Each structure stands twice: as C-alpha cells, then as structure tokens.
Amino acid sequence: MANESISRRDILRTLAVTAAGGSVLQVIPAEAAAYVHQVVRKEKAAAPAGKYTPKYFSAPQYAALIALCDAIIPKDDKSGGAVEAGAPEFIDLLTSENEKYQLRLGGGLFWLDGFCSDRYGKVFLECAPEQKKGVLDLIAFRKNAKQDSALSQGVAFFAFLRRLTCDGYYTSKIGVADLGYIGNTSLHEFPGCPPLPD
C-alpha cells in the first residue's frame, strides 16, 4: 500500500510539470489527464457520500473554484458543464501536488477576493451575479491588463484557470461526448466541414 501511495503521489506531482507538445490539451498530457480523472472517480466511489474531498483548496476557495469553472464552461441543453465533468476535482487534485499551481491558483483566488472586496466590499462568492460577471469580463481579456496593470495578476490567473478547466472538461467523458469524438474508426466517406452560418 505504501508503494502505491508513493507511486500515485509521484505521478500526480510530475503530471503538471510539463505540457505535451502537440497535445490537444493546453497544460498536461492526455494520459495524465485520464489518470487524474480515474483517481477522482475511485475516491468518489470509495467515499460514503460519493463526494470528492478537496485536497488543497479550503472550503471557500473550492466553492469559488466551482463557481469559476461553471462560468467558464456552463452546462447547456446539449451537455453538462465543467462542474458536471469534474473539472474542479481535476484542478484541485493536480494543485495539491504542484507548488507552482498552488501559487498561481491559490494566489489568483486570493487576488480575486481582494479585488472584489476593494470594489464591492465583499468576496467574489458573495457578489451579486452582475458584479461577478463584471469582474470576470475584466480578467477574461489580456488587453484589459495592458490598459490597467492592476488587473495583470487577475488576467494571468484566469487565463491559467481557463486552460486547466478546458483540460479537465475535454478529457472527461462528458467533454469527449460533447466533442462528438468517435475514436479511431474508418469512415466510408468524409462529409467535410459544415457550412458557415450566415
């Protein structure tokens, strides 16, 4: 059991160190992402309530992470969103074993709460929906950091979180189904790209 624990920790620690060249994923390799999803599924299956217990983020930080992941990829009529796909768990598990992620994401959440407190007198989660949207609109675009350097940490944080959320989503069963990926199958004909809407 000790060897399995060490092996798991070593794997998780090294997963986020380098990105795979040419990968569809923006932060970690596809095999690593599959492993993280597998670890999360096993933990949820073994937990009495079937819930994931955050490994790095505090309860308020994890709640903010869930809200941010939901804002980045919300669920729609077609498929579940990032939260349903397990992106917050994916991000937390990777962050628990990587000091650089802890600094970038933990510091980013701290920045976000500080920015909201300065602007609205309350932390991000306590803000009204239009206030949250206003803050996210500011940090979602790099051009805003060029116009106001006080936003640069928030912009860098949100860009990194957005990439991790996409990695977590599009490597999950929900994300793969949303892409319509059918695997390595032969096609009798290739229909080409769909027409562009007018």
Read off the pLDDT of residues 34-77 as tens digits, 9 standing for 90 and up.
Answer: 888 888 999 889 988 889 999 999 999 999 999 999 999 999 99
- The residues, any chain, with a CB within 8 Å of residue 159's CB and separated by 6 or more, are 142
The Cβ of residue 122 has, within 10 Å, a number of other Cβ atoms equal to 13
Helices (H) and strands (E) in the chain, counts: 11, 0
- Cβ neighbors of 156 (< 8 A, separation 6 or more) are 104, 108, 145
Distance (Å, whole) CA 104 – CA 24: 22
pLDDT in tens, 150-197: 899 999 999 999 999 999 999 898 888 888 777 777 777 877 888 888
Give the number of other CB atoms < 10 A from CB of residue 97: 20
pTM score, whole prediction: 0.80
What's the pLDDT band for 4 if we cut at 50, 70, 90? very low
